[in-house]
Amino acid sequence: MIDQVQPSQLQDWVQAKQAQGPTVVLDVREAWELQTASVRAENFAFLHIPMSLVPARLSELNPEQPIACLCHHGGRSMQVAAFLAQQGFTHVANVAGGIHAWSAQIDPSVPQY
């Protein structure tokens, strides 16, 4: 089962997963989207791998490490989270609402697009 985590709940999820190691927020948007709007890493590592490249770059991810997937509205990141779970990743979440919700709930300085 994939955890659905609102941006406002991400820090709690990160703390709950501390025993599994440092959390990675995996941004699966395209490069131009990342340039338009991005999150600031607080208590987690940040990694950008566009959705289409995740299978080819899977070796860059640790299956035991907590990973919260992020995209624009949550659809692509949910697909990536499900893919990771199918590949044996055990601590995977989807940031529900994506960067759009992040802007609304966490940091209004993050542009909405």
| pLDDT, tens only, 19-39 | 999 999 999 999 999 999 999
Assess if CATH 3.40.190.10 describes domain 3-105.
Answer: no
Measured between alpha carbons, how far is 21 from 78 in angstroms, rounded to an integer?
A: 22
Locate the domains of the chain by residue range: 3-105
pTM of the model: 0.95
Q: Give the model's pLDDT for residue 1.
A: 82
Q: Give the model's pLDDT for residue 62.
A: 96
DSSP β-bridge partners for residue 69: 26, 94
Q: Name the 3-class secondary structure at 47.
A: strand
For residue 98, give the DSSP letter.
H
Give catalytic residue positions: 71
